Structure 1
Amino acid sequence: MGCDYNPEQWSPEVWREDVALMREAGLGFVTLGVFSWALLEPEPGRFDFGWFDEVLGLLHEGGIAVDMATATAAPPPWLTTAHPEVLPVDADGRTLWPGSRQSWCPSSPVFREHALRLVAEMARRYGGHPAVRLWHVSNELGCHNGRCWCDVSAAAFRDWLTKRYGDVDELNRAWGTAFWSQHYTSFEQVLPPRVTPAVPNPTQQLDFARFSSDALLDYHRAERDVLRELSPTVPVTTNFMVSTHQSEQDYFRWAPDQDVVSQDHYLDHRLADPRAEQAFTDDLTRGVAGGRAWLLMESATSAVNWQPVNVAKRPGELLLDSLRHVARGADAVGFFQWRASRAGAEKYHSALVPHAGPDSERFREVAALGAALAVLGEVAGSPVRADVAVLFDWDAWWACDLDSHPSAELRYPDAAHRWHRALTGLGATVDVVHPESDLSGYRLVVVPTLYLCSDAAAAGLAAYVEGGGHALVTYFSGIVDGHDHVRLGGYPGAFRDLLGVRVEEFAPLLPGATVTLDDGSRADLWAEVVTAPDAEVVSRFADGPRPGGPALTRRAVGGGVAWYLATRPDEAATTALADRIAREAGAARFEPPAPGVEVVRRGRYVFVLNPTDEPVTVFTRGVDLLAGDLPVAGSAGTVTVAARDAAVIREEE
């Protein structure tokens, strides 16, 4: 267990109390220095490390490892005052001024020069310190400055396009500039997709999203390279933000540049089911990490401060939410932050030590969590094995959510979350992976709304099914290529031959409208005009825009099966279909003992998370680590998990 630690907000007397309380709570690490630039370098080139040295010494004496941040997340006022050209600019041309955080342009050479000077000083001073176990580049790169439309960014965008396309004629072909008289004769004429009188060029928007992710990745690499040169024995990470509301970085591209993948996650109570979203992002983080264990760098002990209503956690939820991360591959559980701030924008964000102090229910629950995580040490490094995969792609997300599509109500993450929620609710373990991943180890692959699909991904799915795999492809998949050009000849272009269907027209539904299928199930959002020349029709639309047309089809292909779903079934129908295709595919499942109870297998460990208000009984054989490594009670091999509690069973060999 660990947390962000911001000692600059407190006096030295508090630092000593902090270390003692950290030991009491069972903390193993802190992330130090994230927002310390203004105090570490109070004037250009003049560094003040004395106070920082003292804090680091206290932590080391207390046995607390340090994840050392490079302190570059927020520039100090002297930098933005002397060099206002480093400030980001939005699509409307407005400068985003200092006064919060991340007020810098990712492409700014001036910002990079000053930031790398600080990184080098940090690496030389602390790279060999015995407390420093990990380097932490900046913080949540792109959280507030993921895209910048300034002139410096425009020039960097043109350079990126030149490398991508080679010549302007190829750019014109890729962007379809014959439309609306957008033909370019020079790269110098190209701008970022700033605010325009009408809908911007969609491929220009898509490429700008790709460029923006790459620009921040290039910045990350610049810091990482300095650290590797001056502190080569300490691994390097940066904390990702894998979540529903953060779409601006393609973390599949970023992951190879991390020595270990780490992420931040906060429950979003604006969603209908925030904990299902947490499970999805955990499984996606594991997919980004290539199946390897990862680190949860930040989460919340209770409420956050940035939602319209910031919901506090009930008793037991801190343990359950933390173990959900561990069950899905996390080898560390971190929080923001150690001590709740007295001042500043995040003063009402929960912490391990709340405003009430350590004599509080929240701190006692934190200490109990620290003790629980300590006894789970043997779980670290254990792999999560899944029979089911859901395909997910940031490129497809960026393209799918652009303007002027058949329905603004359709958003890319929706289908992925729905199918993940249905399958995990049935007890399946699910990997969330890139469309071009090796699929051969899965019994079932779900392809939800993969609007943009590469030729390689389409070929990989076809080979998977031919080889005996089972796949479900949903509506609005395989529609465009990597340039956002429609694949002609009928939808779902990239998958048409595999599925044995042909869609002539989309028939999206108005908000609130529903359709009925001939099996009695209900659906909304989407319908299509489908023919099935080479597939079995499993169910048809009973009403709606095209009654009688296929809604769900099935095709045997080689040794496998390919399903196509042309609408969005309601939750009950989605679960029923998930159950049917998972059973037919032979996917392993650990059926939960009651609705809402999560059962997740990680290696030889079974995590049983019971968020309900009633105890549940699970049949298994082994020892419950959280119960003191005692054998599971009962001759039948059962464990009873109390309401809002958990069990972690080490199964017998």
Structure 2
Amino acid sequence: MTAPLTSRFPYAKGSDGTRRLGYGADYNPEQWSREVWADDIRLMREAGVNVVSLAIFSWARLQPTADTWDFGWLDEIMDLLHAGGIGVDLATATASPPPWLTTAHPEILPVTARGETLWPGARQHWRPTSPVFREHALNLVRRLASRYADHPALVAWHVNNELGCHNVYDYSDDAACTFRAWLRRRYTTLDALNNAWGTAFWSQRYSDWEQLLPPRLAASHPNPTQQLDFKRFSSDALKDHLLAEREILRELSPDTPVTTNFMVMPGTKGMDYADWADEVDFVANDHYVTPGPQDRDELSFSANLSSGIAGHRPWFLMEHSTSAVNWQPVNPPKAPGELARDSLLHVAHGADAVCFFQWRQSAAGAEKYHSAMVPHAGADSELFRSVVELGRTLDALAPIAGSEREPARVAILFDWDSWWAGEQDSHPTSRLDYHREALDWYSALLRLGHRADVVPAHRTDLSAYDVVIAPVLHVVPQPLAKELTRYVECGGHLVTTYFSAIVDENDHVWLGGYPGALRDVLGIRIEEFGPLLDGDTVDLDNGTSGSLWTDRISVTGTDVEVLAGYRTGTYASRPAVTRRGTGRGSATYVSTRLGADGLTVLLPELLAPAGVTSELPEHARGLVEHVVRRDAEHRYLFLVNRSDEQVALPGLTGDVLVAPRTEGDGLVLAPRQVAVLRQSAS
């Protein structure tokens, strides 16, 4: 597999020159008077902060008018941070254009599918394809890079900020023009495009490139392949902006690594980060917990996927929250211990830097109720004391810096095309939730005490895994179908689910019966889908129940075993879960949504042929998550108490880097506590 250039990770250095983990936050000194700045540096040193992201939303301060510039304040704060031993991840400040620019050039503003303009007053009010915006943004980048390339505080460049968070889909005339050019490169000829888009349907055949548009508001459902291509194009348009800024930074500041902060979490599916990863010198991610029954499972899942995107090499946690956020309907604070546990779980999954939004909690603006390292209450607060304690913990974990996340035996494939296409309109159900199905499998594995990797479907060497789980892998081009089949024939154990392998890369159905692209290797054939109405469930004869979906399965192979059947519903007495053995390998199909509860029942039977067993004692499974990082000499075992109860872990060996209470020959994890052991790699 191809891995991003994470060898250029901007490691913090201790006083003896050795690597240490990064620790810090977004820092917005322009929100505060200069009198506060000295106090900020003092408190950062007290907390152990060694890196901050600077100037993210500073364009209007750096360029107050079209013809004036003000770098004096940034010069001053860069010097103060350097004097305090704090490195700077310097942003290009292009995330939100200043009022003078949008007033002079309203044509840079994004347009919705309904033709509505998104006006200034919030952030990210710019079109990714606007040549006018690009010109002004790159002018700013060039000035910043020219001025600060050699500043001793600079450790990394931070392109824009959360690219696509609010402007991923723009339907403007600029977007239409660039979309046509993108389509020309993809298809070359109109005949090829018409074939890919299936334009024989509904009299949509195009006779001129100028007739092509983004999927704007239409009288009915827009062409599905047009929609899918527009999603691909929109991700590429943002990536193209990333590349445009990056090239200037590499030209003027070649020795400083460049990144941008991804947002690997459920609500941000518009950017194909697996595709972007090779374009940055190290992967960085922002993550915020969404409260709910699977909240910490989702945190672990997203951190795990960030590691997969980074090729299991170290990555940078650019933002998360010390406590409450401000943008959910209700924003509860974190419980005691959660600030450290959330942070260290990211570290367990490969983060070599832990940073928050933001350093000092704002007194004004839309995010004034978003928590920070220094809260409104000031340094004399439980929250800041927790921040200081986390700094000490990260300092104790300095030996793990540079270690890579050790691969597991089980992988869950994650695929942006399947996420995009599988949730489009005009499908058997509009209730399908791709991310949730993948998370359910991950949650079930956590409950059973298994380690698993979450990896991009098209960037992964499947042969490295004993078991590969591909939930709702809806889009399966021919090369991927061949790779999955070869994986099984070579002894791997594949598990896939309903609505998988249904279409090719053009969103055309594989004909001859579902799941077309994998029908032979699975040894089954489905003539018709059986989606379930809201509230309807079916019982299986293994004691579980399914929702959302059922399939009318016919077994076509003599070597197919029925692991579970439907006991109720339209397909009662028909197979619900099948497995076809092929030599040392197998291919399993799960035809209904079992949820994390049902999958916890089913998974032991699916993992057994591969001999995959938990490394945790039975009483700790589901309560403790274990993750391993390693370097040439050591394994670093992270033990994360996911529960609100004490958990004893006897019989563990190794040097304790982060120490809970010991009891006899083992450890005792308090609620929400994390332990880290260093063991020999041999």
Could you say which TM-score interval applies, normalised by the shorter chain? Answer: over 0.9
Q: Is residue 114 from structure 1 mapped to residue 105 from structure 2 by the alignment?
A: no
Whether the 8 Å contact between 1:30 and 1:67 is mirrored in structure 2 is: yes
One of 592, 611, 622 as aligned partner of 1:567: 592
Q: Which residue of 1 aligns with 2:4?
A: none
Q: Distance in 2 between matches of 1:45 and 1:553?
A: 68
Aligned twin of 1:264: 286
Tell me the C-alpha RMSD between the 2 structures.
1.3
C-alpha distance in structure 2 between counterparts of 1:533 and 1:111, whole Å: 57
Q: Normalising by structure 1, report the TM-score.
A: 0.97
> Residue 445 of structure 1: which of 453, 457, 468 is its match?
468
Q: Which residue of 2 is the match for residue 555 of structure 1?
A: 580
Shift of 1:652: 4.2
C-alpha contact (below 8 Å) 1:317/1:611 kept by paired residues: no
Deviates more, 1:476-485 or 1:277-286: 277-286
Match of 1:33 among 47, 50, 55: 55
Q: Deviations over 1:590-648 (max 9, x none)?
A: 226153322222221111122433321113101221229x9x653xx311112222211
1:582 equivalenced with 2:604 (yes/no): no
Give the one of 601, 604, 615 matched to 2:628.
601
2:492 aligned to which of 469, 472, 476: 469
Could you report, residue by residue, the CA deviation over 1:95-131 in whole angstroms, capped at 9, with x for unpaired residues?
A: 0000111000000000010000110010011011111
Equivalent residue in structure 1 for 2:659, among 618, 627, 631: 627
The answer to whether the aligner puts 1:252 opposite 2:277 as a matched pair is: no
Paired residue for 2:647, among 613, 616, 626?
616
Say whether residues 1:647 and 2:675 are aligned partners.
yes
Aligned to 2:263: 241
What residue ranges of structure 2 are gaps of 5+ in the alignment? 1-22
The residue correspondences of 1:146-225 to structure 2 (distance < 5 A) are 146-225=168-247
Structure 1 residues 153 and 642 mapped into 2: Cα distance closer, same or farther (>3 Å)? same
- The equivalent of 2:385 in structure 1 is 364
Name the counterpart of 1:516. Answer: 539
Q: Judge conservation of contact 1:387–1:428 (CA < 8 Å) in 2.
A: no
Count of residues in correspondence between the two structures: 648
Q: Measure how far apart 1:23 and its partner are.
A: 0.3
Which residues in structure 2 correspond to 1:126-525 (within 5 Å)? 126-269=148-291, 271-384=292-405, 385-436=407-458, 437-525=460-548
* Alpha-carbon distance, 1:197 to partner: 0.8
* Kept in 1: contact 2:361–2:374 (CA 8 A): yes
The runs of 5 or more residues in structure 1 that have no matched partner are none
How much does 1:544 deviate?
0.5
Q: Work out the CA distance in 1 between the residues paired with 2:600 and 2:493.
A: 17
Distance 1:570 1:43 in 2: 55
Find the residue that maps to 2:234 and give its secondary structure: helix
User: Residue 134 of structure 1: CA displacement?
Assistant: 0.4
Displacement of 1:588: 5.0
For residue 382 of structure 1, report the CA deviation from its aligned partner.
1.8
**2: distance between equivalents of 1:519 and 1:577?**
8
In structure 2, do the counterparts of structure 1 residues 633 and 518 end up closer, same or farther at CA, with 3 Å as the change threshold? closer
Give the deviation of 1:273 after TM superposition: 1.4
Greater mean deviation of Cα atoms: 481-490 or 546-555: 546-555
TM-superposition CA deviations, 1:494-527 (whole Å, max 9, x none): 1101100001110011111111112232111110
Q: Is the contact between residue 449 and residue 624 of structure 2 (CA under 8 Å) also seen in structure 1? A: no
Equivalent residue letter for 1:583: A
1:330 and 1:188 mapped to 2: Cα distance? 46
Aligned counterparts of 1:599 and 1:647: Cα–Cα separation in 2: 10
> 1:123 aligned to 145, 165, 170, which one?
145
Distance across 2 between alignment mates of 1:633 and 1:596? 18
Opposite residue 233 of structure 1, the aligned amino acid is D
Residue 530 of structure 1, aligned match among 520, 541, 553: 553
**Distance of 2:104 and 2:452 partners within structure 1:** 51
Contact 2:441 / 2:599 at 8 angstroms: preserved in 1?
A: yes
Give the conservation status (yes or no) of the 8 Å contact 1:427–1:600: no
Instruction: Deviation per CA, 1:9-58: give whole Å up to 9, x if none.
Output: 00011000000000001101000000000011111242111111010010
Tell me how far 1:434 sits from its aligned partner. 2.3
CA separation in 1, counterparts of 2:658 and 2:194?
61
Distance 2:388 2:64 in 1: 36
Q: Secondary structure in 1 aligned to 2:156?
A: strand
* Residues 120, 227 of structure 1: 8 Å contact kept: yes
For 1:623 and 1:541, locate their aligned partners in 2 and report how far apart those are by CA, in whole Å: 50
3-state SS of 1:504 partner = strand
**Mapped contact 1:24–1:367 kept (Cα < 8 A):** yes
Q: What residue identity is the alignment partner of 1:278? A: L
Task: Evaluate the alpha carbon distance shift between residue 396 and residue 595 of structure 1 in structure 2; reply closer, same or farther with a 3 A threshold.
Answer: closer
Tell me the distance in 2 between the aligned counterparts of 1:536 and 1:371: 54
Aligned to 2:11: none
| Distance in 1 separating the partners of 2:148 and 2:173 | 36
Q: For 1:623, give the aligned amino acid.
A: D
Distance 1:450 1:45 in 2: 52
Q: Render the CA deviation track for 1:421-478: whole Å, top value 9, x for unaligned.
A: 1112222221112223210110110010011112121111111111111111111100
Residue 66 of structure 2 is matched in structure 1 by 44
Mapped to 1, the partners of 2:139 and 2:564 lie a distance apart of: 64
CA contact (8 A) 1:610 1:616 kept: yes
Q: Distance in 2 between matches of 1:148 and 1:25?
A: 42
Deviation larger for 279-288 or 30-39 = 279-288
Separation in structure 1 between the aligned mates of residue 41 and residue 608 of structure 2, nearest angstrom: 52
Larger RCO (alpha carbons 8 Å, 6+ apart): 2
The residue aligned with 1:55 is 77
